[in-house]
Amino acid sequence: MSTADAPERALPTLEGAPPRILLIQAPYYAEVVGGMAAGVARVVAEAGGTLAKVDVAGAFELPAALRLSLSQPYDGVVLLGCVVKGETDHYDHICREACSGVMAITAETGAAVGFGLLTVHTLEQAEARSRDDRHNKGAEAAIACLMQVALRRTWGAA
């Protein structure tokens, strides 16, 4: 499926208090992550929620920051970052460990997480996924997070 074929997802219906969302971002590629963060902010605002932000050094730090955030009073967490493939295998290691770390924490805890780590071959691919349009991966991650918040509230997990 290409970016052009990506499905459009609607905001979920959230029962209860406005959602409190934490955005943890690794702004190594500041313009790309900033574009995705704007998508997150737009979606959270449309849902009537509040958004707090914190930066980490890079994608590798996202899982640890997620783990630390679970003791804070947020309904959900959105993680953003970007890793662009270079000439070494560093890309493979960072992508694999960041993704598996986030998945392990999410599966273990049931935390409501939206995962917006771009793993791309070129900066142009990242820029295309961070624009202010329906393909913004930050907005998609925020919607995924809010869907998990709604599910947790429905099933009484929050």
Q: How far is CA 47 from the centre of its chain?
A: 16
For the question of residue 90 being annotated catalytic, the response is: yes
- CA 12, chain centre distance (Å): 16
Continuous segment of H or E residues that includes residue 90:
helix 90-109
Reading across the β-sheet that carries 20-25, which strands appear in turn?
A: 50-55, 20-25, 76-84, 113-120
41-56 per-residue burial string, b: 16 or more CB within 10 A, e: under 16 = bbbbeebebebeeeeb
Of the residues 90, 93, 121, 135, only one is catalytic, namely 90
112: tokens are 């409501």
d(CA 122, CA 23): 24
Q: Which positions are catalytic?
A: 90
